[in-house]
Amino acid sequence: MNPIIKKKAAFKVAGYGIKTNIAESNGTKDIASFWSNYDGENLESKLYDVLCPPKHGEVGLCVPSSEKGNVIYLLGVIVKDFSKVEQDMITVEVPEAEYAIFTTPPVDTTNNPEQNEFSEVIKSTWKYIFEEWFKDSDYVYDESKLDFEFYDERCHNRQDTVMDIYVPVKKIN
């Protein structure tokens, strides 16, 4: 699994999210529960209807908070500005960064609306990045930036469902 290394300009994300503690075991459960609620309340359609983003694609990211171990998990869309944001939405400005961009291995989600296999592939890709790729690469994780997942038209009920994981990196000197 070879990533593409690419600089990405700063951008704005608006959407829905939850506050959770990733240091405790409930972080993963909270995020999974959020996804279930997100799908159940059709929040994706609401994002597009209200925010009218210039391109299709959702961004999933964890934003650290000032409280130890706490993060805000945000699932949103890239917007030009925050002028259309509603009161129940969360906004984040993602700074410019150099990224290693990984595309998950393809999974057939046409007969699996729950996409359990897809979520397992996403988890295993994250695991590969941090347990395998970094140790053999010329890069280190850039902790001053934000990593994120990007879901576009390639991840909607297809035989070759994939998504991208953007990991901020710095070249080792």
39 token code pair: 């799908």
Percent of the chain with pLDDT over 70: 84
pLDDT tens-digit series, residues 22-48: 666 554 555 666 556 555 567 788 899
Q: Which residues contact 73 (CB under 8 A, 6 or more apart)?
A: 17, 18, 19, 20, 30, 31, 34, 60, 61, 62
Q: Calculate the alpha carbon distances from 19 to 10, 28, 34, 64, 88 in Å.
A: 23, 12, 10, 10, 13
Per-residue pLDDT band for 119 (boundaries 50, 70, 90) equals confident
Residue reference for tokens 């395998």: 132
Q: What is the mean pLDDT of the chain?
A: 86
139-141 and 97-103 as β-strands: parallel, antiparallel, unpaired?
unpaired
3-state helix, strand, coil in the chain (%, to 5): 30, 35, 35
pLDDT score recorded for residue 111: 79
In contact, 71 and 32? CB cutoff 8 Å:
no
DSSP code at position 132 = I
Report the CATH fold assignment for 4-171: Multidrug-efflux Transporter 1 Regulator Bmrr; Chain A (3.20.80)
User: What is the predicted pLDDT for the residue at 155?
Assistant: 86
Helix, strand, or coil here: 15? Answer: strand
